[in-house]
Amino acid sequence: MIDIRSDTVTKPSKGMMNAILNAKVGDDVFGEDPTVNELQERCSKITGKEKALFVPTGCMANQLAVKAHTRQGDEVILERESHILNYETAAPAIISSVQLFAIPGVNGVMDTCEIEKYIRPTDYYFPLTKLICLENTHNRAGGTIQPIENTKAISELAKKYRIKMHLDGARIFNASTATGIPVKEYASYFDSISFCFSKGLGAPVGSILCGNEEFITLAHKWRKILGGGMRQAGVLAAAGIYALDNNVDRLSEDHKKAQYFAKEISQIDGINIDLETVHTNIVIFSSSKYRKQEFISLLREKGVVISSGSFENLRAVFHLDVSMNEVRTAVEKIKEMF
């Protein structure tokens, strides 16, 4: 089966398994796991933030950020198709009791003036606009990159209104690889940033949340409250360290696979795709011949699994466990359907 549903489906390589096997571990709830501590220090350096906290998932990283930046009844501005709004089971309402204010973006990118329009004036009957969240790369928009000038402008706006900024950087290394802009520079426009080891970086589990000491102290407490205090988590952190050492530079290969796939299927009569949105490893497209589920089922019968995107969209995601030959086969199988 050629599995291009997501870059989350990768399995740890031999080298990564060796790193896991040889990891030095301790009880991380006591702060005594040397490998977790090493990973957290590495991530602080990479992002230029004071502290980092290893967490099981990208969702937990985002939710800890929302929790630590807000108080009950605050408002959070984010993009309408963002992961936090669409795929995190209303957790901001449950965990933080905050209201989400969604602004539609163009390919996942919000307009600065539009954001400013919806920042609440100070009056007792308004919620307090406390946090703005961006997503880079933007998943539902098709792995699109947030332009750095736009991020900078939103960050300046946030400073002006004393609003905190969080970056859901689950795939920030994909953005950084594609643009050449260091992760540290992206991170510099935010109070907090999270990213995942378990997506394009190929680790089985794990994400990181970075920010200043006060923020991470609060996030650490909430990680414990949510049951995310892990013990000998060094076995997982070792996979994260291995991923940073070995799987970052190769992300450009996944971008090439996505480009090839997108260009090939764009030539098929009955496939709708906007090639301009293919910036990294995700390809969003739709079909005028098949309904979404029908397309997915037919292709699965041919040995290729893709996932469902927003609305009638289909999604293919390229990663280190799918070879260029398999990408070619996937294209052939789609062509057979038309």
One residue of 2, 3, 4, 6 binding ligand TLP per CB under 6 A: 6
Closer residue to ligand TLP, CB minimum distance, 58 or 142: 58
If we measure between CA atoms, which residue out of 298, 181, 200, 189 comes closest to residue 243? 200
Q: Is cis: bond before 122, omega within 30 of 0?
A: no
Based on the shown chain and the rule CB under 6 A, indicate whether residue 192 belongs to the binding site for ligand TLP. no
- CB of 62 or CB of 144, closer to ligand TLP: 62
Binding map of ligand TLP across residues 50-89, x = CB under 6 A, - = no contact = -------xxx--x--------------------x---x--
Q: What is each CA distance from 13 to 2, 185, 201, 247, 317, in whole angstroms? A: 17, 30, 11, 11, 19
Interface with ligand TLP, residue 139, by CB under 6 A: yes
Does residue 242 sit in helix, strand or coil?
A: helix
Cα radius of gyration (the chain): 20
CA distances from 278 to 153, 217, 281 (A): 24, 38, 8
CA distance 61 to 72: 19
Instruction: Select from 10, 198, 277, 287 the one that contacts ligand TLP (CB under 6 A).
Output: 198
Q: Which is nearer to ligand TLP, 305 or 337 (CB)?
A: 305
Q: Does 168 bind ligand TLP (CB under 6 A)?
A: yes
Q: Select 25 or 84, whichever has its Cβ closest to ligand TLP.
A: 84
Q: Which residue shows structure tokens 């906007």?
A: 274
Contact between 135 and ligand TLP per CB under 6 A: yes
- The binding site for ligand TLP (CB under 6 A) comprises 6, 8, 57-59, 62, 83, 87, 135, 139, 168, 170, 196, 198, 207
